[in-house]
């Protein structure tokens, strides 16, 4: 599941109030108490946004830097919105067939994300048999 997703959550986050005046368009919204995966109830409210649909980490990083730059003011509002306790950029990418895998995150990405209170997560996925990654 490569690509980059921005996930936001908080136990007291009123996701509907935030989205009522937001230019951000999430692909998924959940509310505290909603039924989630494996019939478990969400203990927080949140949203998920597509940042990149690329399947290579370098392209995802470029897309994420562009996203953070273009939406900086709205992401600052989100960071400061009552109830938001977690904002995370999740970079999905493939495991390579190597003894040890090292992936580089450039300072520009780290600075932009950090200044907006956004954490970074790397989700590694096994490559499909057709993949040459």
Q: 111: which 2 tokens?
A: 């600075």
Q: What is the H or E stretch that residue 62 is in?
A: helix 57-70
Residue 132 in any domain: the answer is no
Burial of 117 (0-12, 13-18, 19+ CB in 10 A): middle
Residue 70 in any domain: the answer is yes
Domain that holds residue 69: 3-125
Residue 131 in any domain: the answer is no
Give the span between the Cα atoms of 38 and 7, in whole angstroms.
Answer: 19
Residue 13 in any domain: the answer is yes
Rounded percentage of the chain residues whose pLDDT exceeds 70? 95
The counts of H helices and E strands in the chain are 4, 5
Residue 119 in any domain: the answer is yes
Residue 48 in any domain: the answer is yes
Query: Over the chain, what is the mean pLDDT?
Result: 92
Overall number of domains in the chain: 1
Residue 133 in any domain: the answer is no
Residue 130 in any domain: the answer is no
Give the span between the Cα atoms of 81 and 85, in whole angstroms.
Answer: 9
What would the pLDDT profile of 48-71 be if each residue is shown by its tens digit? Answer: 999 999 989 999 999 999 999 999
């Amino acid at each position: 599941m490569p690509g980059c997703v921005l996930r936001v959550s908080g136990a007291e986050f009123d996701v509907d109030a935030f989205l009522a005046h937001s230019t951000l368009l999430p692909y998924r919204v959940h509310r505290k108490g909603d039924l989630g995966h494996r019939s478990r109830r969400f203990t927080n409210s949140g949203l998920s946004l597509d940042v990149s649909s690329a399947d290579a980490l370098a392209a995802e990083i470029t897309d994420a830097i562009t996203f953070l730059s273009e939406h900086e003011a709205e992401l600052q509002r989100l960071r400061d919105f009552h109830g938001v306790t977690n904002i995370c950029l999740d970079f999905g990418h493939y495991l390579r067939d190597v003894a040890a895998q090292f992936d580089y995150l450039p300072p520009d990405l780290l600075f932009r994300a950090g200044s907006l209170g956004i954490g970074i997560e790397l989700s590694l996925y096994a490559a499909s048999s057709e993949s040459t990654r």
